[in-house]
Structure 1
Amino acid sequence: MSKPKTPPRLRFESHQIDKVDATILEALDADARLSMADLGRLIGMSAPAVSERVRRLETAGVIRGFSLDVDTRALGYEIRALVRIRPFPDKLHLVEKLIQETPQVIEYDRITGDDPFLARLVARSVEEMDEVVKTFCEHAVTSTCVIKSSSHTRRLPPLHGP
């Protein structure tokens, strides 16, 4: 799993995001496939003007990229799970490499607390999930929670002041 390339960060404080930027972000959040012409029409700007705004948001690191949202169940991965992973002493880097190399792990975070990793994995069956989790057990303690349902998709944080 490769990380998206992040441009050098320019400080882009939340108070610098004006109503137009917020409207652009909300529109792209709803449909990232909008053309610059359609986005411009939607918010009342020319395509070149809105394109410049989007470029500025990308340069500032606010927009890191555009992504694809795939329903893993439609691909046959009926099981979705969150796995907390606590490496044994001196195994942190080895476990992180193992997480990165496990194709069923579709996302992971380094977190605070006793378990430094939280991984989201997919599997076609409970048996496959068990096999994936077992690969970590030689080097770490794991705790697995199967996701029964997701109430909503990822959304933008509040873009306007309190």
Structure 2
Amino acid sequence: MELDPIDQTLVAALTADARSALKTLAAQCGLSAPSVAERLRRLEERGVVTGYSAVVDPRALGYQLQAIVRIKPLPGRLHEVERALRGIPQFTECDKVTGEDCFIARLLVRSLEQLDQILDSLASLAETHTAIVKTTPIARRLPPLAAG
């Protein structure tokens, strides 16, 4: 589904600041506020814009460590592992992937002890390989909005 240049501008502006006022968005797009509201409504209906959210720094909530965990369920334990991961709120993202590991997950913890406790809780279900995140040179972002 391709976006026209105005929709691309709207999506980019909302990605930069989801709290942008319609008046501000209208000025960026060269449209009236009602026209922008209608375009946003259509983007939502088409499933391009699926929600609006706040960006929260996990460190401000006491989560000092972030880890990427590769998870390989033991034979016959795939669905159990998936249920277990869903039940551990410190796992903030998880992808089911191809290859040797079945899951790659992002985990936020307050300490190394908490990391050990969470990984220990999975030990009877899966093998895990963990990397501590030092920095995030590229945070989650959209791919290019224009074709090409």
**Length-normalised TM-score, structure 2:** 0.95
* Stretches (4+) displaced over 4 A: none
Counterpart of 2:7 in 1: which secondary structure? Answer: helix
Counterpart CA distance in 1 for 2:96 and 2:44 is 25
* 1:31 maps to 2:11: no
- Aligned residue runs from structure 1 range 132-151, under 5 A: 132-151=118-137
Deviation of 1:114 after TM superposition, in Å, equals 1.4
- Aligned residue runs from structure 1 range 36-75, under 5 A: 36-75=22-61
Counterpart of 2:68 in 1: which secondary structure? Answer: strand
Deviation of 1:95 after TM superposition, in Å, equals 0.6
RMSD over aligned Cα atoms: 1.1
* 1:90 maps to 2:76: yes
Counterpart CA distance in 1 for 2:21 and 2:7 is 16
Q: Percent identity?
A: 45
Counterpart of 1:49 in 2: which secondary structure? Answer: helix
Letter in 2 for 1:50: V
Deviation of 1:25 after TM superposition, in Å, equals 0.8
* 1:122 maps to 2:108: yes
Counterpart CA distance in 2 for 1:81 and 1:156 is 22
Gaps of 5+ in 1: 1-12
Counterpart of 2:106 in 1: which secondary structure? Answer: strand
Counterpart CA distance in 2 for 1:110 and 1:124 is 25
Counterpart of 2:48 in 1: which secondary structure? Answer: coil
Letter in 2 for 1:114: E
Tell me if structure 1 keeps the 8 A contact 2:9–2:28.
no
The equivalent residue for 2:4 is 18
Gaps of 5+ in 2: none
Deviation of 1:116 after TM superposition, in Å, equals 1.2
- 1:55-75 superposed Cα distances (whole Å, 9 cap, x missing partner): 111111111111221111111
